[in-house]
Chain A
Amino acid sequence: DQQVKQNSPSLSVQEGRISILNCDYTNSMFDYFLWYKKYPAEGPTFLISISSIKDKNEDGRFTVFLNKSAKHLSLHIVPSQPGDSAVYFCAAAKTSYDKVIFGPGTSLSVIP
Chain B
Amino acid sequence: KAGVTQTPRYLIKTRGQQVTLSCSPISGHRSVSWYQQTPGQGLQFLFEYFSETQRNKGNFPGRFSGRQFSNSRSEMNVSTLELGDSALYLCASSLYGTGDNEQFFGPGTRLTVL
Cβ A45 vs Cβ B105 within 8 A: yes
Q: A41 CB to closest chain B CB, in angstroms?
A: 7
Interface range, B side: 20 to 34
Q: Which of B40-48, B65-73, B78-86 has 4 or more CB atoms under 8 Å from chain A? A: B40-48
Give Cα A9 to B55, complex, Å: 32
Main secondary structure on chain A at its contact with chain B? loop
Is B61 an interface residue, CB under 8 A from the partner? no
A-B contact count (CB 8 A): 79
Is A59 an interface residue, CB under 8 A from the partner? no
Beta-carbon nearest neighbor of A30 in chain B: B99
Q: B43 CB to closest chain A CB, in angstroms?
A: 4
Residues of chain B in range 43-96 having any CB-CB distance to chain A below 8 Å: 43-45, 48, 50, 55-58, 90, 92, 96
Q: B61 CB to closest chain A CB, in angstroms?
A: 17
Cβ A43 vs Cβ B90 within 8 A: yes
Chain B positions 18 through 53: 1 when the CB is less than 8 Å from some CB of chain A, otherwise 0 = 000000000000000101000011111100101000
Cβ B100 vs Cβ A96 within 8 A: yes
Q: B100 CB to closest chain A CB, in angstroms?
A: 4
- Identify A43's interface contact among B40, B41, B48, B106, CB under 8 A: B106
Q: Which A residues are closer than 8 A to B by beta carbons?
A: 4, 6, 9, 31-32, 34, 36, 41-46, 49, 51, 89, 91, 93-105
